[in-house]
Amino acid sequence: DFDLTAPFQTAFTTRDQHEHRHKVRPVQIIAPSSTQPGKFRLNESALNSVLGHSACANKKVVVISVAGAFRKGKSFLLNFFLEYLYNLHKSQQSDTSLEWLTDDCQLHGFHWRAGVKRDTVGIWLWGEPIMIESVTGEMFAVLLMDTQGTFDNNSTYQQCMTVFALSTIVSSVQIYNVVDNIQEDALQHLSLFVEYGRMAMEQPHNFGKPFQQLVFCVRDFKNQEEYEFGENGGTDFLDNVLQLNPEQPEEIKAVRELLREYFEDIQCYLLPHPGYKVAERQSFRGHVKDLRPLFREELKKMVPNLLGPHNLKPKIVNGKTVTCRKMIQYFKEYAASFDG
Ligand code: GDP
Ligand code: MG
């Protein structure tokens, strides 16, 4: 179900922008192979439609990925990223102040859904990069990546591992989305996936850590007596989860050491429950005014922390920043490396 119709436009006028954005869709770039069970194929034309446009080919690319088990609000979260980035772009182009997540706003873009029916496994990209001026004045092309994997049986576990590993390799920020807590098994999955990804990279060892930023996003966090919501509470919470002590069994230690060794930076955000309309109503249509105010406040802090002009980090491979054009090539190489 590839949508190749997403148009690309870089020089929006403010008037066109709203309308333009509604025509863009996520495109699936990694999909299960229809001929070889358990394998994936790369949709090159979809990839080219997102990254191949001459206006962004030479721009440095920032890739924000969201991964984790299904039906945990990943796609929903990405719509906050879209909302922020498009409004930031608009404010930078028109030199006006940034307003976003206002009362009249309706979230849309990545499809979110209730219920248990599974989507296909794979990797999607938002249909165009969003151009953001970084704090140095340089334009970055920001890509949003949605992943879908399941852990429910052996064959889907293998697929999930590929999806997670590939999305970690190509992203500058991997957001690991979990609910309520960072459980030991979630850490174990994560370290397996990351190890699998590192093996596929065959990166020379003199280039430092293989991956850039890992961000745990804990949804529906409940223990706010002990840890406050947001980044501060998240940092304390994560320190506690990742701490090493002599009494820990070897495998518990190994998982923590591996994560510290493979990622340059690890962060954590604790988010409150979004409110019953989001969580329980089939009829929820993304109206911001239906969000629990506390949730909205925390997102208004978290999203600029991750995606603001001060904080955007272009993708680096083997010590070099990567352009959109180069990214197409990396995708092809890395996707091929999982084929064997
Ligand atoms: P994904 O499969 O991880 O991409 O999950 P979706 O984004 O499709 O969301 C699955 C369901 O969870 C939808 O019904 C959302 O409205 C709901 N949802 C989104 N965010 C949250 C959250 O933070 N907490 C709760 N409890 N539900 C959420
Ligand atoms: Mg989803």
> Three-class SS of residue 221?
coil
Cα–Cα distance, 136 to 67 (Å, whole number) = 29
Cα–Cα distance, 272 to 220 (Å, whole number) = 5
For 58-115, how does the pLDDT look when each residue is reduced to its tens digit (9 = 90+)? 999 999 999 998 889 999 999 999 999 999 999 999 999 999 999 999 999 999 987 6
With 60 as the cut, is the pLDDT of residue 4 above it? no
- Segment 228-234 shows an average pLDDT of 98
Tell me how far the alpha carbon of residue 146 lies from the centroid of ligand 2, in angstroms.
7
pLDDT of residue 324: 98
For residue 205, what pLDDT band results from cuts at 50, 70 and 90? Answer: low
More confident: 91 or 9: 91
Q: What are the structure tokens assigned to 303, written together?
A: 């999203």
pLDDT of residue 117: 64
Q: Is the CB of 111 under 6 A from ligand 1?
A: no
For 285-318, how does the pLDDT look when each residue is reduced to its tens digit (9 = 90+)? 999 999 999 999 999 999 999 999 999 999 999 8
Q: Is the CB of 112 under 6 A from ligand 1?
A: yes
- Segment 34-45 shows an average pLDDT of 87
For residue 204, what pLDDT band results from cuts at 50, 70 and 90? Answer: low
CA atoms within 13 A on the CB side of 143: 35
Cα–Cα distance, 142 to 306 (Å, whole number) = 12
- pTM here? 0.94
With 60 as the cut, is the pLDDT of residue 9 above it? no
- Segment 189-203 shows an average pLDDT of 87
> Three-class SS of residue 109?
coil
Q: Is the CB of 113 under 6 A from ligand 1?
A: yes
The answer to whether residues 121 and 160 touch, using CB atoms and an 8 Å cutoff, is yes
Atom 11 of ligand 1: nearest residue by CA position: 114
Tell me how far the alpha carbon of residue 141 lies from the centroid of ligand 2, in angstroms.
23
For residue 40, what pLDDT band results from cuts at 50, 70 and 90? Answer: confident
Which atom of ligand 1 is closest in space to residue 119's alpha carbon? 2
The answer to whether residues 284 and 278 touch, using CB atoms and an 8 Å cutoff, is yes
Helix residue spans in the chain (DSSP H): 14-23, 44-51, 74-94, 154-170, 184-201, 230-242, 250-262, 276-280, 293-307, 324-337
pLDDT of residue 224: 92
More confident: 240 or 150: 240
- Segment 131-141 shows an average pLDDT of 97
- Segment 4-30 shows an average pLDDT of 69
More confident: 56 or 20: 56
- ipTM comes to 0.99
Nearest to 67 by CA among 161, 182, 197: 161
Tell me how far the alpha carbon of residue 171 lies from the centroid of ligand 1, in angstroms.
22
For residue 154, what pLDDT band results from cuts at 50, 70 and 90? Answer: low
With 80 as the cut, is the pLDDT of residue 199 above it? yes
